[in-house]
Amino acid sequence: MDYRKYGETYYIRLDRDDEVIGSILKICREENILSAVYSGIGGCKNADIQTFIPEKGDFELKHIEGMLELVSLNGNVITDENDEYYHHTHAVFSYKKDGEHHIDAGHMKAITVLYTAEIELRPVLGGRIRRKFDPETGTGFWDFEDQD
């Protein structure tokens, strides 16, 4: 992994066997980025995709692997009142399986790079977005801090 900051934006190059979400969170911790959004593309070798099932109040997990084209990665990083980091990441992958083209997408738990991934990380400027726990869904949502 390598990254550079140009202006207020971080440009991240992930290499073979780097884990995408963990790498983004690591940079946020190192650079003291408390809330940000990101996007990216790349060539990956496996991904764990989660789909939230409201009736169960839990996620179903699907693991995919092979030569996965990371067509689109979008997400955000926020922190809670204890400065604990959380991500909310969605991605779309295209790949061939049994000679046919497939697409899988959803909420990401983990993604491992095969060749490279290129990520643009944009910190929130002029404020901070925190995580607010929602007991009804058992997950967290954006909470906007007063800027007064």
Q: Per residue in 120-136, pLDDT tens? A: 999 999 989 999 888 87
Whether the model pTM is above 0.75: yes
Q: What is the dihedral of CA 15, 16, 19, 25, to 10 degrees?
A: -10
Q: Which of 76, 59, 80 is nearest to 133 (CA)?
A: 80
Task: Compute the distance between CA of residue 136 and CA of residue 42 in angstroms, rounded to an integer.
Answer: 35
Task: Compute the distance between CA of residue 5 and CA of residue 28 in angstroms, rounded to an integer.
Answer: 12
Over residues 51-105, the pLDDT tens digits come to 988 888 788 999 999 999 999 999 999 998 889 999 999 999 999 999 999 999 9
Domain annotation for the chain: domains and CATH numbers: 15-124 (3.30.1330.80)
Are the C-beta atoms of residues 119 and 106 closer than 8 Å to each other?
no
Task: Compute the distance between CA of residue 75 and CA of residue 77 in angstroms, rounded to an integer.
Answer: 7
